[in-house]
Amino acid sequence: MDIIVENLVQVWDDGGAGVRALDGITHHFRSGTLTCLLGPSGCGKSTLAQIVGGIETATSGTIRIVDPKNPSAPPARPGQCSVMMWQSLNLFPWRNVIDNVTFGLEMAGVPKPERYARARELLASVGLRNFEEKACSQLSGGMRQRVALARALIMDRPILLMDEPFAALDAQTKIVMQEELTRIFERMRKTILFVTHAIDEAILLGDEVVVMTARPGRIKEVIRIDLPRPRTQEMVGTHEFGELYDRILHLIREEVLNAMRQQDEALA
């Protein structure tokens, strides 16, 4: 699914003049590509993901979601063919692991044996075999993140919106999960919007890295990542990787400094 975003503006109501979170975002997220969104904290990454996912409605601007194989079909409604993995996870505390994962299928009326079978398979692939009956409160932060990932993946929607999905993982689990995501992506060719603040993760996973400015969020630069697929962890050491890293680090540093200056001014 192609996601064509034009001139997106989002002003959050804060009881006063409003917070301008996004200020004219225009971008074409291509079908079957994994786009990483990078930017300083508070620049509107989550906001953008939520608008693309139809969870929030933008103040102005348009989103069109079209199937490139069938361009004459009417565009899909945002949210219809996407699913979000939330930065705050939003697991349902009253449901155990497997009932969180199967929530969407249950709502869709999929019979229990079928949805449980699919959930078991997915949970095993994210390293949570035998945790099906646990309460979510009994899991570590990283395990909860994997439950949230499985809950999104089980929906099998063409667009996957992932808001800092691996932020709470330890370094080792993170590598495993990145490999798992790469594998899923290279096999299923979903359209993925992946929010992160880790530059190496963005390069390792993405076909494209969109660097955003400090608030109000605009697109500062779009960097194509032409590293061959399948991607492996070993690529991190290559010269090409290092060059991309330096380039993005430079862009990000400018914006983080901008964001800090803004905060200082706001406090003064």
Partner 1 sequence: MTASGKARSGRPARKRRDPLWLRVLPSLSVVLFIALWELAVKAGDVAPIILPAPSSIARYLVAMILDGSLPYNLAVTFVRIMAGFLVAGVLGVLVGVLMGMSKVLARVIDPWIAALYPLPKISLIPLLIIWLGTGEAYILTISAITAFFPVVISTYAGIRQTSQELVKAARDLGASTRQIQTNVVIPAAIPSIFAGLHLGMGVTIILVVAAEMIGGSNQSGMGYLLIRFGQVMETEKVFASLVALAVFGGVIMKGQQAIDRWVAPWAVGKS
Amino acid identity, residue 125? S
What DSSP element (H or E) covers 27?
A: strand 19-29
Site for partner 1 in 52-111 (CB under 8 A): 53-55, 79, 83-84, 86, 88, 90, 92-94, 103-104, 107-108
Contact 82, 56 (CB under 8 A): no
Q: How far is CA 151 from CA 4, 53, 234, in A?
A: 26, 16, 29
To ligand ATP, the closest distance from the beta carbon of 197 in angstroms equals: 6
Q: How open is the CA angle 222-225-229, to the nearest 5 degrees?
A: 150
Length of the chain: 268
To partner 1, the closest distance from the beta carbon of 185 in angstroms equals: 20
Three-state SS at 157: coil
Amino acid identity, residue 89? L
- The residues that touch ligand ATP, with contacts defined as CB under 6 A, are 12, 19, 21, 39, 41-47, 87, 197, 215
Residue 196 interacts with which of ligand ATP, partner 1, Mg ion, none, CB < 5 to 8 Å by class: none
Q: Contacts from 225-230 at CB under 8 Å and sequence distance 24+?
A: 227/203, 229/182, 229/186, 230/182, 230/183, 230/186
To Mg ion, the closest distance from the beta carbon of 43 in angstroms equals: 9
Candidate list 14, 137, 172, 234; residue touching partner 1; CB under 8 A: 137
Residue 151 interacts with which of Mg ion, partner 1, ligand ATP, none, CB < 5 to 8 Å by class: partner 1
Q: Residue 138 interacts with partner 1 (CB under 8 A)?
A: yes
Phi-psi sector, 189: left (phi>0), alpha (psi -120 to 50), beta: left
Site for Mg ion in 191-220 (CB under 5 A): none
Candidate list 155, 167, 176, 198; residue touching partner 1; CB under 8 A: 155
Nearer to ligand ATP (CB atom), residue 50 or residue 178: 50
In this chain, which residue has its C-beta nearest to Mg ion?
A: 46
Contact 162, 193 (CB under 8 A): yes
To ligand ATP, the closest distance from the beta carbon of 10 in angstroms equals: 8
Candidate list 7, 26, 140, 232; residue touching partner 1; CB under 8 A: 140
Nearer to partner 1 (CB atom), residue 102 or residue 213: 102
Residue 79 interacts with which of ligand ATP, partner 1, Mg ion, none, CB < 5 to 8 Å by class: partner 1
Q: How many CB atoms lie within 10 A of CB 118?
A: 18
Candidate list 31, 35, 46, 196; residue touching Mg ion; CB under 5 A: 46
Buried b (16+ CB within 10 A) or exposed e, 31-63: bebbbbbbbbebbbbbbbbbbbbbbbebbebeb
Give the residues lining the site for partner 1 (CB under 8 A).
53-55, 79, 83-84, 86, 88, 90, 92-94, 103-104, 107-108, 127, 131, 134-135, 137-140, 143, 151, 155
